[in-house]
Amino acid sequence: MDSTLSGFTPIGATTLLAPLPVVLVSCQGTSPDLRIPNLITVAWTGIVCSNPPMLSISLKPQRHSYRQILESQCFCVNLVDRSLCRATDYCGVKSGRDINKFETLDLHPLYLPDFDAPALAEAPAFLCCRVSEIKELGSHTLFLANIKESYVRTTLMSDRQVNLENAHLISYAHGQYYPVSPSSLGFFGYSVARKKTLKRRTAKKR
């Protein structure tokens, strides 16, 4: 086996991690000039812990949503489907300082009990997050947050299981948006599963 680098081209220390789960983060500040509900597109997000459930998002301090989240200490991570792709791109290039993105895009904030950030009513699913730690990294600031609750559209539930293959989600890879394939290549652990388990899990998908 050839173990040399002859078939690769170095391109520097870049952020070339792909694909990424592009999401719309919804937030709202507490002071008068920051109280208009806002949406920001975030591709730099990810689960960082399962117990307790936690995730992180990274924002530039110049962003309007940065100040809103600093004030409220909470936000919602909204998964986005193909129907929200154009809105997702728009929310990444327009600022909440200048426009109400919800109104401009004919989207609707969904207010939750005892939570100071709205969700996106049109999202197939969303996670309610409360900030636990803030870390300045350089160009971006990382918000580490506890996931307090998750909501999934009822039409995506079957036998108490979440069927994300029916959600038509999108991803982000090096400046482009891509559809997430509805076809599953396997489930976690399928490479070592018994034949009986494989048959049962495969039958559920049909």
- 11 lies in a domain? no
Tokens of 122: 């049109």
Q: Under DSSP, is residue 194 helix (H, G, I), strand (E, B) or coil?
A: coil
Reported as a single tens digit per residue, the pLDDT across 167-188 is 999 999 989 999 998 777 778 8
- Is the Cβ–Cβ distance between 68 and 61 less than 8 Å? no
pLDDT score for 7? 86
pLDDT score for 38? 98
- Is the Cβ–Cβ distance between 74 and 114 less than 8 Å? no
**Which residues, given as ranges, of the chain have pLDDT below 70?**
1-3, 203-206
Cα atoms found within 13 Å of the Cα of residue 42, Cβ hemisphere only: 29
- 51 lies in a domain? yes
pLDDT score for 171? 95
- 186 lies in a domain? yes
The domain of 67 spans: 23-204
- 15 lies in a domain? no
- 67 lies in a domain? yes
Length of the chain, in residues: 206
Q: Under DSSP, is residue 76 helix (H, G, I), strand (E, B) or coil?
A: strand
Q: Which residue has the tokens 């400046």?
A: 175
Residue 6: C-alpha distances to residues 10, 13, 16 (Å): 10, 19, 20
pLDDT score for 3? 67
- 14 lies in a domain? no
- 60 lies in a domain? yes
Structurally, the chain folds into a number of domains equal to 1
- 9 lies in a domain? no
- What's 28's domain CATH number? 2.30.110.10
pLDDT score for 205? 56
pLDDT score for 160? 84
Cα atoms found within 13 Å of the Cα of residue 76, Cβ hemisphere only: 31
Dihedral of alpha carbons 149, 161, 107, 110, sign: negative
